[in-house]
Every structure is written in C-alpha cells, then in structure tokens.
C-alpha cells in the first residue's frame, strides 16, 4: 500500500481518522475525491489547521494534518505547543519536504530545526522514517497511537530491505560494529548504508542504527552501541543543536558515560539550495564524504 492508500484505508475503516492539509496536497492529491468530507483543506493557514485539528481531536477524531515542515513546525509552533502539546491530543502532524528534502527551495523552506523544536514539546513524539518503505512500515502504529506525533514525511525510494517489525521507541539495528556505530534518522539513512559499506572495505567493523522514532528514542540501542563501539557517529540533516547529537549527549550525561561521538550535522548555517544529490555533495553528506570524515577522525 502507498501512503495515500494507508490513509484511505484508515479513514474508511475507522471513523476517527480525518485528513487535513493547509493547501499542501503533494502527498495526498488523490484523497479529496476518495474520502469526501473526511478531507479538510483549510487553505494556507498552518495555525488554523493545527487549531482545527485540535478541535477535531477534542471530539474524538485523529486528525492527520499536512503542511510543509518548515511552516507547520515554525509558523504554527505555538499552536502545536499550546493546543496539541498542552492538550495532549492525538493530532498527527505530517511535515513535507523536511531537512534536505526541501532541495532547491532555499532557507525559508529548510526545516532543519524541526526535530529539535518538536521533541522539546512535552507529549509530542517524533517519527523520522529512513525512506518510503520505512515510513509505510511504521505509519499505522504511529497514526493509531493515542499520542501526538510529528512525522517527517519521507518518500525517497528505499535502498534497503527494512525490518517489518516496528515499535514506537525501538530502533532498527541494521548491524552491530566494534569500531564504529553510525546512528541515523531520516533521509540520510541511505548515505549511512553507503558509508558503512565503504568503511567495511577498509576493514572496519561497522554498526548501523536506523532510529525511526527520535522521540521516544531507543536508549538501549544507543547505550549498547556506546558499550561495543570505539566511536559513535550521529548523522542528521538538521542543525547540530537540539537534534540527534543533543539526544545522545543528554543520554550520556544522564548515564555518566564518556565516549567519542562524531556529529555529522549542519553547523550554524542553512544549507546550499540545490537538487538533493548536489546538496549532499556540496555539504559533505554523501556516503563517501561521511566515510572520509569518519576515517580522518
């Protein structure tokens, strides 16, 4: 089933589901005709859409609300925090074109602080699938959860056969490694796979963890990696502040663990707008460049 087919199926089988958008229909263009009045487009009104979603949730619905990740999480931030977060309502916020997926749109559209600000809201969870297949594996459990969720929508074609076992708060441990463990979420998963392969040709034992949900985070998987590997590498298309690197640092400080962590993230500036592959090259986030960074570390 595609993303749209899963939503359609949920809407048809469960009267709680409603599909919303603030005039961003990229991922759901076929749904309006298929689900009738269970589809609501509020126009280019991210704040109102989030408020409306909270109102629907008050009435027992599970609204799945779509907008561009930057405008959803930042323009409507206070509505998410105040109405969805304080209200602890089962609103699902789907951010499109997050991180590097905004490609050539430029800084206005770059949601590269979204994970940080969403995970900072009590009650709000964060799901960052590695690719389309990974997203579809986890989608039902995330949407059916009684808790609020921010979802980094990701329809990149999969390069890896993911485990069909999905549990909120449980990472997909692709491999364990003695020398290096790469911890990654979202679109950079495929680059991490490539980096792992390169490092393995150099004789290194490489672990790879696809986090899936950044909040709740799989602490056990990260702690195991810290125990077994000489170096941890966190990879994210996100500012270095508040994302996975911070999640890891918070965990290690709390557990009094000292270990080597190499962050691969955006440092205090927006990225060069271009097509995805060119962004990866320019910013140094291709598998090859990541492997180089790890080797010189």
Partner 1 sequence: MKKEKLSELKETAFRVREHIIRMSGDGGCFIGASLSCADLIVYLYKEFLNVNKNNLKDPGRDYLFLSKGHDVPALYGTFAEIGFIEKERLMNHLKTNDFIYWHPNRNIPGIEFHSGSLGHLLSIAIGVAIDCKLRKQNNKIVVILGDGELDEGSVWEAALVAGAKKLDNLIAVVDRNHFQANIETEKLIPLNPISDKFEAFGWKTGSCDGHNFEDLERAFSEFSIETGKPNLVIAETRRGNGLPSIEARADRWFANFTNDEVEMLLKELHGGKITELTSETIVAR
Number of residues that bind partner 1 (CB under 8 A): 28
What DSSP line would sit under 78-126, residue for residue?
HHIIIIIITTT---EEEEES-GGGGGGG-GGG--SSHHHHHHTSTT-EE
**Residue 214 in tokens:** 């950044």
Q: Which is nearer to partner 1, 88 or 163 (CB)?
A: 88
Instruction: Work out how close the CB of 129 gets to partner 1 at its nearest, in angstroms, rounded to a whole number.
Output: 27
Instruction: Work out how close the CB of 110 gets to partner 1 at its nearest, in angstroms, rounded to a whole number.
Output: 23
Q: Which is nearer to partner 1, 51 or 177 (CB)?
A: 51
Instruction: Work out how close the CB of 242 gets to partner 1 at its nearest, in angstroms, rounded to a whole number.
Output: 23
Residues within window 45-104 making contact with partner 1, judged by CB under 8 A: 45, 47-61, 63, 78-79, 82-83, 86-87
Instruction: Work out how close the CB of 12 gets to partner 1 at its nearest, in angstroms, rounded to a whole number.
Output: 15
Q: Which is nearer to partner 1, 82 or 224 (CB)?
A: 82
Q: Which is nearer to partner 1, 65 or 211 (CB)?
A: 65
Stretch that binds partner 1, among 23-31, 42-50, 161-169, 189-197 (CB under 8 A): 42-50
Q: What is d(CA 287, CA 83) in angstroms, rounded to the nearest whole number? A: 40
Stretch that binds partner 1, among 3-11, 37-45, 145-153, 189-197 (CB under 8 A): 37-45
Sheet harboring 206-210: ordered strands across? Answer: 172-175, 206-210, 180-184, 231-239, 260-266
Taking residue 136's Cβ as centre, other Cβ atoms within 10 Å add up to 19
What letter would DSSP give residue 169? T
Cα angle value 70/173/295 (rounded, 5°) = 80
What letter would DSSP give residue 166? -
Q: Which is nearer to partner 1, 79 or 185 (CB)?
A: 79
Among 187, 192, 174, residue whose Cα is nearest residue 238? 187
Instruction: Work out how close the CB of 93 gets to partner 1 at its nearest, in angstroms, rounded to a whole number.
Output: 14
Q: Is 145 in the site for partner 1 (CB under 8 A)?
A: no
Q: Phi/psi at 226 (nearest 5 deg)?
A: -65, -35
Instruction: Work out how close the CB of 151 gets to partner 1 at its nearest, in angstroms, rounded to a whole number.
Output: 20
Q: Which is nearer to partner 1, 22 or 70 (CB)?
A: 22
Cis status of the peptide bond prior to 56, with omega within 30 of 0: no
Do 244 and 266 form a contact (C-beta atoms < 8 A)? no
**Which positions touch partner 1 (CB under 8 A)?**
37-38, 40, 42-43, 45, 47-61, 63, 78-79, 82-83, 86-87
């Amino acid at each position: 089933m595609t993303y749209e087919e899963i939503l359609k199926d949920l809407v048809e089988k469960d009267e709680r589901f409603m599909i919303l958008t603030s005039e961003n229909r990229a991922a759901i263009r076929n749904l309006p005709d298929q689900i009738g009045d269970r589809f609501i487009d509020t126009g280019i009104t991210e704040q109102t859409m989030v408020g409306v979603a909270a109102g629907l949730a008050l009435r027992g619905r599970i609204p799945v609300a779509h907008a561009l990740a930057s405008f959803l999480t930042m323009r409507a931030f206070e509505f998410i925090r105040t109405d969805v977060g304080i209200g602890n309502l089962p609103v699902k916020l789907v951010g499109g074109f997050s991180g590097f997926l905004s490609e050539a749109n430029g800084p206005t559209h770059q949601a590269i602080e979204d994970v940080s600000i969403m995970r900072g809201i009590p009650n709000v969870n964060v799901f960052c699938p590695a690719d389309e297949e990974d997203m579809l594996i986890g989608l039902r459990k995330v949407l059916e959860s009684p808790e609020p969720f921010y979802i980094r929508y990701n329809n990149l074609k999969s390069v890896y056969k993911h485990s069909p076992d999905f549990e909120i708060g449980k990472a997909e441990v692709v491999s364990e490694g003695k020398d290096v463990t790469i911890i990654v979420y979202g679109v950079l998963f495929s680059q991490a796979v490539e980096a792992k392969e390169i490092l393995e040709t150099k004789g290194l034992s490489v672990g790879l963890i696809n986090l899936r949900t950044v909040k709740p985070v799989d602490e056990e998987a990260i702690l195991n990696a810290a125990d077994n590997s000489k170096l941890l590498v966190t990879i994210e298309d996100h500012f270095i502040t508040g994302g996975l690197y911070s999640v890891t640092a918070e965990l290690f400080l709390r557990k009094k663990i000292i270990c080597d962590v190499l962050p691969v993230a955006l440092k205090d500036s927006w990225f060069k707008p271009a097509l995805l592959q060119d962004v990866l090259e320019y910013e140094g986030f291709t598998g090859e460049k990541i492997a180089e960074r790890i080797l010189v570390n």
